[in-house]
């Protein structure tokens, strides 16, 4: 180590000598010395280290220790070193007058002592300075590479520069990870879990009985479900979206410079039905054509979710509607079991049995891959899944799809969007999604159309005219269900 310090001292002395000789020669009118050509080669870090090794081998460590002690005897006080340094900087004559031609050291030997005194401090300062410079250069290089070199390539692939940085949004990702850890408690036995209070106990006098007009017209029934969604979010208050620009389905490229969701109120995903819904989203393999292993904990989460939403107004209204239509038993516990089967029972899809479910297809989404000789996203019609995947950098929003007929373009208040996006690098060319509605509302809406409607169900929900498209698998399983904007 002592040899390394000496080597560093030599490098520092060499730099100082060069500066002193240059200043002295300029005063005397002499030509500056070309150190690279006439003088000995400057020491490199490798040479300093190798010199240390060779010196230790030749002299032995005892000799090295002896030299170190001799040097310490001649070290002046720090104040003296500091004053001498100031004199060198201000006048330059201390090491300029009467120097040795070979080394540039003054006759008094003060310059050598000063350098030896300050070697350790100089090495420390130089090391810290070097690290600061390297750190600054690294970040400068990173900015240059990302903005000038890599960003154009990402934009060619449909990811704008603004979104490139937003995909790494740590705050949103850390928040979603924190919430995810809270969902683990839903893996316990459903009987051991706590649930929210029944809506009838909270909202006294709440009427969940269908009228005769609602029983006769499916559209009126769906409109009533919208009114009963007491857990629906309010745009601008609970979340903010940036729709970006519109595009045709066949248009390539990215028409959205930002994420679709720019903000979501922190407490939303902690609401009971939202939280239990989110806990189900990671139970599935997104790639179609692979058998889905269902654990006992998965079943606990499913049962707990059904129990939670069964306490809400939309599900209570759904039950009363189906009972009055003589399509369901009066027993509410039997109704919960019937509600579980069409959504969570496994079915075959993509040429593989027990590889999918209605819940996975509609709310989570599936990727058709090599087994189907395709590469596209299927299903994925839920805004909560979209938000979470976008927060984790797995979704790239491409913009909204222009309405089929001329009408009002979507804005931050719109709650029915037809959009295009990439999920895990695979394109979903067109997908209709209800924004801000509760999980219980969507389950009630699609279940209602499955039991009481047909393949096409042209209805009104709130201010929107939609077609709730339903596909069946057999007699009692939902193949898919999603909204299509009427215009």
**Lookup result for tokens 């070290």:** 75
H or E segment to which residue 304 belongs: helix 296-309
- Cα distances (Å, whole numbers) of residue 286 to 261, 361, 384, 467: 22, 9, 16, 26
- Cα distances (Å, whole numbers) of residue 419 to 260, 396, 436, 466: 10, 11, 15, 15
Any catalytic annotation for residue 428?
yes
Distance between CA atoms of residues 428 and 362, nearest Å: 13
Q: Strand, helix or coil at 386?
A: helix
Question: Could you tell me which of 116, 130, 24, 43 has the C-alpha nearest to residue 78?
Answer: 116
Any catalytic annotation for residue 337?
no
Please return the burial class of 112, using the count of CB atoms within 10 Å of its CB with bins 0-12, 13-18 and 19+: middle
- Cα distances (Å, whole numbers) of residue 123 to 9, 18, 301, 472: 8, 19, 62, 76
Name the catalytic one among 6, 368, 398, 428. Answer: 428
Any catalytic annotation for residue 287?
no
Q: Which residues pair with 400 in a beta bridge?
A: 246, 419
- Cα distances (Å, whole numbers) of residue 476 to 203, 343, 483: 33, 10, 20
Tokens of 164: 């490139």
Name the catalytic one among 6, 163, 300, 381. Answer: 381
User: By the 8 A CB rule, do 458 and 467 touch?
Assistant: yes
Name the catalytic one among 247, 255, 316, 361. Answer: 361
Please return the burial class of 138, using the count of CB atoms within 10 Å of its CB with bins 0-12, 13-18 and 19+: exposed
Contact partners, residue 148, CB within 8 Å, separation at least 6:
none
Distance between CA atoms of residues 107 and 93, nearest Å: 12
Radius of gyration of the chain (CA): 37
Q: Give the active site residues.
A: 361, 381, 428
């Amino acid at each position: 180590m002592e040899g390394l310090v000496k080597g560093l001292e030599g490098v520092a002395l060499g730099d100082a000598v060069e500066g002193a000789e240059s200043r002295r020669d300029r005063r005397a009118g002499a030509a500056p010395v070309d150190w690279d050509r006439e003088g000995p080669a400057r020491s490199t870090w490798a040479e300093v280290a190798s010199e240390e090794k060779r010196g230790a081998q030749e002299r032995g460590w005892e000799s090295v220790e002896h030299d170190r002690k001799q040097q310490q005897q001649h070290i002046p006080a720090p104040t003296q070193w500091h004053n001498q340094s100031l004199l060198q900087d201000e006048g330059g004559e201390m090491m300029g007058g009467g120097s040795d031609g070979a080394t540039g050291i003054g006759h008094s030997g003060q310059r050598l002592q000063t350098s030896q005194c300050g070697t350790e401090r100089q090495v420390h300062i130089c090391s810290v300075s070097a690290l600061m410079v390297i750190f600054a250069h690294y970040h400068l290089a990173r900015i240059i590479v990302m903005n000038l070199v890599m960003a154009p390539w990402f934009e060619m692939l449909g990811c704008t520069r603004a979104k490139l940085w937003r995909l790494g949004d740590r705050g949103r990702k850390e928040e979603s990870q924190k919430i995810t850890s809270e969902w683990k408690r839903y893996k316990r036995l459903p009987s051991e879990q706590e649930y929210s209070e029944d809506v009838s106990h909270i909202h006294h006098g709440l009427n969940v009985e269908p009228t005769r007009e609602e029983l006769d017209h499916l559209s009126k029934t769906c409109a009533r479900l919208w009114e009963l969604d007491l857990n629906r979010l309010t745009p601008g208050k609970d979340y903010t979206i940036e729709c970006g620009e519109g595009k045709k389905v066949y248009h390539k490229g990215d028409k959205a410079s930002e994420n679709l969701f720019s903000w979501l109120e922190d407490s939303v995903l902690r609401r009971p039905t939202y939280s239990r819904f989110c806990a189900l989203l990671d139970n599935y393999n997104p790639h179609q054509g692979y058998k889905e292993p269902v654990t006992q904990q998965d079943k606990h989460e499913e049962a707990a979710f059904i129990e939670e939403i069964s306490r809400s107004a939309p599900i209570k209204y759904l039950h009363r509607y189906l009972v009055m239509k003589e399509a369901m038993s009066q027993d509410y516990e039997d109704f919960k079991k019937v509600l579980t089967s069409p959504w969570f029972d496994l079915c075959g899809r993509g040429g593989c049995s027990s590889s999918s479910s209605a819940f996975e297809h509609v709310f989570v989404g599936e990727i058709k891959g090599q087994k189907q000789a395709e590469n596209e996203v299927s299903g994925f019609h839920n805004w909560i899944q979209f938000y979470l995947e976008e927060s984790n950098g797995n979704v790239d929003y491409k913009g909204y799809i222009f309405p089929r007929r001329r009408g009002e373009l979507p804005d931050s208040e719109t709650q029915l969007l037809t959009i295009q996006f990439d999920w895990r690098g695979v394109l979903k060319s067109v997908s209709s999604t209800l924004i801000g509605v509760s999980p219980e509302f969507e389950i009630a809406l699609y279940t209602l159309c499955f039991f009481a409607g047909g393949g096409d169900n042209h209805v009104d929900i709130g201010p929107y005219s939609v077609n709730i498209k339903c596909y069946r698998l057999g007699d009692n399983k939902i193949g898919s269900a999603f909204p299509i904007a009427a215009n």
